[in-house]
Amino acid sequence: MSALSSIVVGSHVWVEDPEVAWIDGNVLEVDGEEIKVNCTSGKTIIAKTSNVYPKDTEAPSGGVDDMTKLAYLHEPGVLDNFKCRYATNEIYTYTGSILIAVNPFKRLPDLYGKDVMEKYKGAVFGDLSPHPFAIADAAYRQMVNDGISQSILVSGESGAGKTESTKMLMQYLAYMGGRAAADGRSVEQKVLESNPVLEAFGNAKTVRNNNSSRFGKFVEIQFDKRGRISGAAIRTYLLERSRVCQVSDPERNYHCFYMLCNAPPEDVERYKLANPRKFHYLNQSNCYELDGLDESKEYLATRRAMDVVGISSDKQDAIFRVVAAVLHLGNIEFEKGNDPDSSEPKDDESRSHLKIVADLFMCDEKSLENSLCKRIMVTRDEKITKSLDAQAAAISRDALAKTVYSRLFDWLVDTINNSIGQDLDSNHLIGILDIYGFESFKTNRCLTVLNNFASI
Task: Give the 3-state secondary structure of 6-48.
Answer: HCCCCCEEEEEECCCEEEEEEEEEEECCEEEEEECCCCEEEEE
Cis geometry, peptide bond prior to residue 250 (ω within 30 degrees of 0): yes
CA dist., res. 250 & res. 419, Å (int): 36
Has 156 been labeled as part of a binding site?
A: yes
State pTM to two decimals: 0.83
Q: How far does Cα 48 stand from its chain's mean position?
A: 40
pLDDT at res. 382: 85
Q: DSSP letters of 249-308?
A: TT---BHHHHHHHTS-HHHHHHTT---GGG-TTTTTSS----TT--HHHHHHHHHHHHHH
Output DSSP code: residue 5.
G
Written as tens digits, the pLDDT of the chain (456 aa) is: 444 557 889 999 999 988 889 999 999 999 888 999 999 989 999 999 888 999 999 999 999 999 999 999 999 999 999 999 999 999 999 999 999 999 888 888 899 999 999 999 999 999 999 999 999 999 999 999 999 999 999 988 877 888 889 889 999 999 998 765 545 567 777 887 888 999 999 999 998 888 888 998 999 999 999 999 999 999 998 899 999 999 999 999 999 999 999 999 999 999 999 999 999 999 999 999 998 899 999 999 999 999 988 899 999 999 999 999 999 999 999 999 988 889 999 999 999 999 999 999 999 999 999 999 999 888 888 888 899 999 999 999 999 999 999 999 999 999 999 988 889 889 899 999 988 655 554 444 444 444 444 332
Can you tell me the distance from the alpha carbon of 351 to that of 294, in angstroms, rounded to the nearest whole number? 33
Distance of CA 71 to the CA centre of its chain: 35
DSSP assignment string, 127-163 = TS---HHHHHHHHHHHHHHH---EEEEEE-BTTSSHH
How many Å separate Cα 42 from the centre of its chain? Answer: 41
Q: Could you give the dihedral angle defined by the CA atoms of residues 320, 433, 67 and 103, in that order, rounded to the nearest 10 degrees?
A: 0
To the question of whether residue 93 is assigned a binding role by annotation, the answer is no
CA distances, 353 to each of 103, 363, 412 (Å): 42, 14, 25
Closest CA to 93 of 449, 454, 452, 453: 449
Q: What is the pLDDT of residue 65?
A: 96
Domain ranges of the chain: 11-54, 67-242+423-455, 264-420
Q: Is 159 annotated as a binding residue?
A: yes
pLDDT in the model for residue 455 = 34
Q: Residue 114, annotated ligand binder?
A: no
Element (H, E) at 375: strand 374-378
Beta strands in 182-262 (DSSP E): 203-204, 212-213, 216-223, 229-237
In angstroms, the Cα distances linking 144 to 118, 241, 301, 361 are 18, 40, 35, 49
What per-residue confidence (pLDDT) applies to 5?
Answer: 56
Bridge partners, 21 (sequence order): 17
CA distance 154 to 346: 48
Tally Cβ neighbours within 10 Å of residue 373: 21
Q: Could you say which architecture CATH assigns to the domain 11-54?
A: Roll (2.30)
Q: Is residue 337 part of an annotated ligand binding site?
A: no
Which helix (H) or strand (E) element contains residue 52? strand 52-54
The answer for 441, left when phi > 0, alpha when psi is -120 to 50, beta otherwise, is beta
Is residue 292 a known part of a binding site? no
Q: Going by C-beta distance under 8 Å and a sequence separation of 6 or more, which residues neighbour residue 417?
A: 233, 234
CATH architecture for the domain at 264-420: Up-down Bundle (1.20)
- Alpha helices of 28-131 — where are they, by DSSP H? 75-86, 114-120
**Rounded to an integer, what distance in angstroms lies between the CA atom of residue 229 and that of residue 188?**
7
- CATH class of the domain defined by 67-242+423-455: alpha beta
The catalytic residues are: 158-159, 163, 209, 212-213, 437, 439
Helix (H) or strand (E) holding 317: helix 313-329
